[in-house]
Amino acid sequence: MKRMYNGLTIIMFLFILLAGCSTNEQNVKASKKVEITVSAAASLQDSLNEIKGLYEKQHSNIKINYNFGASGTLAQQISQGAPVDIFFSAAEDKFDQLVQKGIIEKADSMNLVGNSLVLVVPTKEKLTIHTLNDLSKADKISIGTPEAVPAGMYAKESFEYLQLWEGLKKKVVYAKDVRQVLNYVETGNVDAGMVYKTDALTSKKIKIVATADEKTHTPIIYPIGMVKESSHPKEIKQFYKYLQSDTSMKVFKKYGFKGLN
């Protein structure tokens, strides 16, 4: 009987030990954060950072990592295999290239928000610039590099539509993204710049003097989609859906974006 009792005691001890190990493993797995990488247009920086704070507060096991930049540059990085889970572009053409290559599934993408293109000058302007036609008075004008920066492409389209481009192109200072254009205007390194309304609203060092007529450029639409081959499809899908939620849309509109749906 004593041997049987000792044997049962050992079995019970082993069972408790194994159960404890299993619980510890589950706790380790539960505590391990899932990281989601989002490549997004620079103009989305402020709104997405606010959304990140809201989402991570509700999902303690999720960490959102952002990679902000020009949409063309980001699309190129993704096509070359950069580890990205979600792409949020400021232009449809850059985004569509990835859909055509099969890197983003069309069913897992949508046009989410829109924007406006505005002309900005330093708060303490040296020149009287009130319209795009007044840019002939400027010595230096900044826009994003049209081939890589959608805002620059839209600005060039507006200038061409208004037949201003030939007279302005020698004055243009190209920037890597809209935030750099904004910085050039803020510091007085240029007399004026073309940026998104959402970026202009973040600065007190510049003022908006005109808005480009929508008929002068391609519609400013921001598509978003999930990149294939993700290691955490469930968590990524949840965040992708959250970016479409009423909570997120309120944040986007707060920063000047337009809802499309």
pLDDT at res. 118: 98
Please tell me whether residues 197 and 207 are part of one structural domain.
Answer: yes
pLDDT at res. 23: 45
Please tell me whether residues 108 and 235 are part of one structural domain.
Answer: yes
Q: How high is the mean pLDDT in each 10-residue block of the chain (261 residues)? A: 49 50 45 89 94 96 95 94 95 93 94 97 89 96 94 97 97 95 96 95 94 96 92 93 97 92 69
Domain span holding position 241: 34-114+221-259
71 has binding-site annotation: yes
Whole-model pTM? 0.79
Q: What is the CATH number of the domain that holds 65?
A: 3.40.190.10
158 has binding-site annotation: no
38 has binding-site annotation: no
pLDDT at res. 24: 45
245 has binding-site annotation: no
- Tokens 């400021």, residue located: 90
Number of domains the chain is built from: 3
pLDDT at res. 20: 54
43 has binding-site annotation: yes
Please tell me whether residues 10 and 74 are part of one structural domain.
Answer: no
Please tell me whether residues 23 and 147 are part of one structural domain.
Answer: no
